Amino acid sequence: MRRPLPLAAILALLAAVAAVAFWIRVESDPYRLPGADWRVFKARFVAPDGRVIDTGNGGITHSEGQGYGMLLAEAFRDRRTFDRIWEWTRRNLQTRPDDRLLSWLWKPAADGSGAVADPNNASDGEILVAWALLKAFDRWGDYAYQQAAVEILADVRRLLVVETPNRLALLPGLHGFNKNGQLLLNPSYYVFPAFRSFEKKLPGAGWGALADAGHRLLEEARFGRWSLNPDWVTDVPPLTLKSQFPPDFGYNAIRIPLHVAWEDPASELLGPCAKFWRAFDDLSKMPATVNLETNALSSDPALPGMQAIARFAIAAADGRRLTVRDIPAVDHEEPYYSASLKLLTKVAIREAMGGKN
């Protein structure tokens, strides 16, 4: 005669079945962020003290990279790494005496130390860091994250968002971008999904209006044969490519379709770049930059992370769903910027197309 299983054994069996069922659900989720990607990124680009290292630019650190690191740590639910990156950022970049903005550039020294090399800020750095802090507050409930984000955003709104006769605009930095009302703008600094998040968290602060103004900027700032947005544009008026920077759609502007599709995969603003990229049957042959004055394509191929953005933008413009699995894994030899763009694209796909945070 078979004896009934003890209650403890039944409970253990049920727990095991539930664990297997959970594992199957997780592994079958096409929008799950691959932990292996984050392990590679951390090992290669995040120092033990929380400094995010740009290996493609002499090992420098910039506020943008710290923001990317914080966004990725939050997305991969790695609070320990998030806190290390934020603490390094706070101690080393948020040291300006008159505001809560971040010095944009820190350079290492031969003796292992380092220091701020340019105390001016870069507004995308503040936006990315503040967005990551608000996401961290939502995930982990620590009000210190929220308070730090609000302080940063208050100074961004006070010092970097300006109203001119032409537009409401986001200055790329506090110094050097507004000469007698003629603005030098970087359209890739308009991180639209962050602006929409700020509008929800801080209603009435004008973030939605800035996002709408950014959309209009993209509609107006179309140049060259393919009507692409430039890395930099001067608002004279009219908008012009004349500035101290090359007239390219390139390493800056590649982030524009990422931000647009992240905010709204159905946006018509994706049309021109998607049309341009569709001309390449093999995206590994797409150029890193396009000269918008001469229409010349660079001989340098786009980084894998840039190709990931192109794949996302094309799918969004075509009304097709893309999953995280459709983007290749981060390669162990991949440079910092490419790896960052690739992982950010995966996070954007998860949030914009998978409906998951």
Give the active site residues.
64, 124
Q: Is the peptide bond before 238 cis (omega within 30 degrees of 0)?
A: yes
Q: Strand 233-235's sheet: what is its strand order? A: 178-179, 182-185, 233-235, 239-240
| Interatomic CA distance for residues 75 and 36, integer angstroms | 14
| Interatomic CA distance for residues 65 and 92, integer angstroms | 13
Can you name the residues that pair with 301 across neighbouring β-strands?
287
Indicate the residue type of 184. Answer: L
Q: Is the peptide bond before 48 cis (omega within 30 degrees of 0)?
A: no
**Do the Cβ atoms of 205 and 189 come closer than 8 Å?**
no
| Interatomic CA distance for residues 104 and 151, integer angstroms | 17
Indicate the residue type of 354. Answer: G
175 CB neighbour count, 10 Å cutoff: 10
Given its phi and psi angles, is residue 297 left (phi above 0), alpha (psi -120 to 50 degrees) or beta?
beta
**Do the Cβ atoms of 211 and 196 come closer than 8 Å?**
yes
Indicate the residue type of 59. Answer: G
**Do the Cβ atoms of 177 and 159 come closer than 8 Å?**
no
CA angle 90, 260, 233 (to 5 degrees): 80
DSSP category for residue 48: T
| Interatomic CA distance for residues 275 and 294, integer angstroms | 19
- Which residue is listed with tokens 């537009």? 167
Contacts of 244 (CB under 8 A, 6+ apart): none
